Amino acid sequence: MCGIVGYIGMQPAVPVLMAGLKSLEYRGYDSAGVSVCVSDEIYTVKAKGDLSHLEAKLKETALPEATLGIGHTRWATHGAPSDVNSHPHMGRKGIVALVHNGIIENYLELKAELMEKGCTFQSETDTEIVAQLFEYLYDGDMVGTLRKVLQRVHGAYALGIICKDHPDQLLAVRKDSPLLVGLGKEENFIASDIPALLSYTRDYYLLNDNEIVLLKRDGVSIFDLDGNPIEKEVFHVSWDASVAEKEGYDYFMMKEIMEQPRALQKTISPRILEGNINFEGIGLTEEMIASLRRIHIVACGSAWHAGIVGRYVLEKLTRIPVEVDIASEFRYRDPIFGENELCIVISQSGETADTLAALRLAKQAGVRILSIVNVVGSSIARESDDVIYTWAGPEIAVATTKGYTTQLSVLYMIALYFAKAKGLLRQEEEKMYLEELKLLPEKTSQVLHACNSGSIEALAKQLCKREDFFIIGRGIDYAAAMESSLKLKEISYIHSEAYAAGELKHGTISLIEEGTPVIAIATQSTLLEKLVSNIKEVKARGAYVIAITEEGNSFVADVADEVIYIPKATDLFTASYNVLPMQIFAYHVAVARGCNVDKPRNLAKSVTVE
């Protein structure tokens, strides 16, 4: 949610900033801007729209060559997308320019106070207040002024600041919004995420909340809020820059869909050792697991959908009651915590603001936190008692695919691990589940190749003009229907509703008319007959039914108009397969409708505001 970059070094800053923003565009793309500092002046160019608009404007208004600058790509919160609301924001005398990711919660109060002192504001943003306040409190010392500013602002922020009096300094700070410091040779960087650094350096510092960083060309100093220096450990990026490239695919989303077998392999195989699930370094003991009375799962978006699948699997295998909550609801519903409980927090980015707040709430109540996270060193990973990483690699497309399926695989492993610790898994059962887990990457690859043979694309072209879809299922299939429906909604802008197949007749079936597309996910062996009845109910009302079922269930073809087959699997793991045709279907529908698949309207990948 908003991408920040900053550069200080020997190279011309604008190309570095623009390349960084390009790789952060997944964080927001409704407007963008850059400021550079040269010869004691700050020059700024900003443009509404995605980065191509800023690029075009920079061609018209070439900025002077500078080696210090900041850049921003925005996902609007306060104030509509517009040139003037874009970052960087300046103080009224033009002494500082500032970029911000997050929300300043007391901005109205600060604005009123500054207006009384004669400040006037150009934009509707909360960010401009910080720039104005900085200038108002500015005493010639960057770090000292920032410390005073931070005493006044409340909320979440990652800030990058330049000042015309200090063309040799780039200042930054973070609290509850991500920010990294890239360490180069005679150059240093700030960025919201690693891809922005990869072309220049692989060494970086992870900042903790309330750490202030002063970057110069030849060094980086870090301070706490009292101005005391802090020593930091240098981290090293282990993945290659090419993972953040499209590698011949039209969109990152399809590349990431096709990467799922490899991501699953990397997530699963190091954790199955000598016929056992092995979570290295995890502090949860067998005794703790055996005494668990309840598990809370909290997450947002697709990670929440993974949690719903996780509940079915965990309850079935471990008999521990599981509650799954949307993080933004959980944090405000005064949840009841008890002894011997565990909170499983799921997040691809590890930075989602509501999920992080839910984690903190549970932790404060004394509940142990086990997180499933993709981004190493992210806030959620760092604040958890135990972390199990999904090794999906960077996910760029806003709509998650490999992030979600690797989360499912970790949830299966947790369920098996807990069931074994509780003595609930018979040897032959364990063997069967582990075999299934090992086969997951290979079978995923088979499904993806079958789905890409053209039939799903043809179906997508046939149905791409429809404006309403229903996706139905029972049990785990219903959980998978929710994720499938979200995929279709977020990238193709088609309204679709996931429904528990047995519930449809209690009202929603009134919406089914001649030709309404209904996708029926029918993979739960014990519920198959009931699901077939539900298909007949909608068929009788004119629905056009596409069924997703397992090979061998040929009788489903008798009741559906189209059938997509997935390989046979244990009922507990089917969500991993039946979501795949839906990812590919949603992708082709979005392409056929001319949508921007990787950057759907109004969305951002990493939601670091409430």
Q: How far is the CB of 280 from ligand G6P (least distance, A)?
A: 23
Q: How far is the CB of 606 from ligand G6P (least distance, A)?
A: 6
Residue 446: count other Cβ atoms within 10 Å of its Cβ: 15
Q: How far is the CB of 98 from ligand G6P (least distance, A)?
A: 26
Which residues, in sequence order, are CB contacts of 46 under 8 Å at separation 6+?
31, 32, 33, 34, 54, 57, 83, 84, 86, 87, 88
Q: How far is the CB of 373 from ligand G6P (least distance, A)?
A: 8
Nearest to 142 by CA among 114, 113, 117, 172: 172
- The structure tokens listed for 474 are 């029972």
Q: How far is the CB of 489 from ligand G6P (least distance, A)?
A: 11
Closer of 243 and 603 to ligand G6P (Cβ): 603
Rounded distance between C-alpha atoms, residue 26 and residue 49, angstroms: 13
**Residues 52 and 32 sit within 8 Å (Cβ to Cβ):** no
Closer of 111 and 305 to ligand G6P (Cβ): 305
Q: Is 451 a catalytic residue?
A: no
11-19, 43-51, 254-262, 342-350 -> range binding ligand G6P (CB under 6 A): 342-350
Rounded distance between C-alpha atoms, residue 526 and residue 370, angstroms: 31
Closer of 96 and 372 to ligand G6P (Cβ): 372
Q: How far is the CB of 330 from ligand G6P (least distance, A)?
A: 13
Q: How many residues bind ligand G6P (CB under 6 A)?
A: 15
Look up residue 351 and give its amino acid: E
Q: Is 111 a catalytic residue?
A: no
Q: How far is the CB of 355 from ligand G6P (least distance, A)?
A: 5
Q: How far is the CB of 580 from ligand G6P (least distance, A)?
A: 17
Q: Which residue is nearest to ligand G6P (CB)?
A: 301
Closer of 24 and 398 to ligand G6P (Cβ): 398
Could you give the strand order of the β-sheet that contains 155-163, starting from the edge strand earlier in sequence? Answer: 89-90, 96-104, 155-163, 170-175, 211-216, 219-223
Closer of 153 and 411 to ligand G6P (Cβ): 411
Nearest to 121 by CA among 138, 103, 135: 135
In the numeric block, the tokens 């960010």 are attached to 127
Q: Using DSSP, state whether 545 is helix, strand or coil.
A: strand
Rounded distance between C-alpha atoms, residue 585 and residue 573, angstroms: 21
Does residue 347 bind ligand G6P (CB under 6 A)? yes
| Three-class HEC string of 372-408 | EECCCCCHHHHHCCEEEECCCCCCCCCCCCHHHHHHH
The single residue of 2, 37, 119, 464 carrying the catalytic annotation is 2
Buried b (16+ CB within 10 A) or exposed e, 486-499: bbbbbbbebebbbb
Residues 393-412 that bind ligand G6P (CB under 6 A): 398-400
Q: How far is the CB of 362 from ligand G6P (least distance, A)?
A: 16
2-10, 59-67, 112-120, 601-609 -> range binding ligand G6P (CB under 6 A): 601-609
Does residue 583 bind ligand G6P (CB under 6 A)? no
- The structure tokens listed for 529 are 């007959």
Q: Tell me how long the chain is.
A: 610
Closer of 5 and 398 to ligand G6P (Cβ): 398
Does residue 603 bind ligand G6P (CB under 6 A)? yes
Write the binding mask 20 to 49 for ligand G6P: x where contact by CB under 6 A, - elsewhere: ------------------------------
Residues 281-310 that bind ligand G6P (CB under 6 A): 300-303
Interface with ligand G6P (CB under 6 A), residue from 188, 328, 355, 574: 355
Residues 361-400 that bind ligand G6P (CB under 6 A): 398-400
Closer of 304 and 418 to ligand G6P (Cβ): 304
Sign of the CA dihedral running 363, 369, 372, 373? positive
**Residues 28 and 601 sit within 8 Å (Cβ to Cβ):** no
Closer of 73 and 352 to ligand G6P (Cβ): 352
Q: Using DSSP, state whether 169 is helix, strand or coil.
A: coil
Closer of 36 and 482 to ligand G6P (Cβ): 482
For the residues of 38-70, what is the DSSP string, one character each?
ETTEEEEEEEESSHHHHHHHHHHSPPPP-SEEE
45-53, 147-155, 469-477, 602-610 -> range binding ligand G6P (CB under 6 A): 602-610
Residue 393: count other Cβ atoms within 10 Å of its Cβ: 19
Closer of 71 and 350 to ligand G6P (Cβ): 350
The single residue of 22, 402, 420, 605 carrying the catalytic annotation is 605
Q: How many CA atoms lie within 13 A of 124 on its CB side?
A: 8
Rounded distance between C-alpha atoms, residue 150 and residue 515, angstroms: 58
Q: How far is the CB of 157 from ligand G6P (least distance, A)?
A: 19
Closer of 396 and 527 to ligand G6P (Cβ): 396
101-109, 289-297, 348-356, 537-545 -> range binding ligand G6P (CB under 6 A): 348-356
247-255, 344-352, 521-529, 579-587 -> range binding ligand G6P (CB under 6 A): 344-352
Q: How far is the CB of 267 from ligand G6P (least distance, A)?
A: 15
Write the binding mask 503 to 542 for ligand G6P: x where contact by CB under 6 A, - elsewhere: ----------------------------------------
Rounded distance between C-alpha atoms, residue 110 and residue 424, angstroms: 58
Q: Largest Cα–Cα distance of the chain, in whole Å? A: 78
Closer of 129 and 300 to ligand G6P (Cβ): 300
Residue 362 belongs to what H/E stretch?
A: helix 353-364
How far are the Cα atoms of 102, 181, 297, 460 from residue 173, in angstroms, in the given order?
A: 12, 10, 31, 46
Q: How far is the CB of 352 from ligand G6P (least distance, A)?
A: 3
Burial class (CB within 10 angstroms; exposed 0-12, middle 13-18, buried 19+) of 558: exposed
110-118, 151-159, 343-351, 423-431 -> range binding ligand G6P (CB under 6 A): 343-351
First to last CA, the chain: 11
- The structure tokens listed for 161 are 């600041």
Residues 447-486 that bind ligand G6P (CB under 6 A): none
Q: Which residues are catalytic?
A: 2, 605
Please give the residue ranges that form the binding site for ligand G6P (CB under 6 A).
300-303, 347-349, 352, 355, 398-400, 603, 605, 607
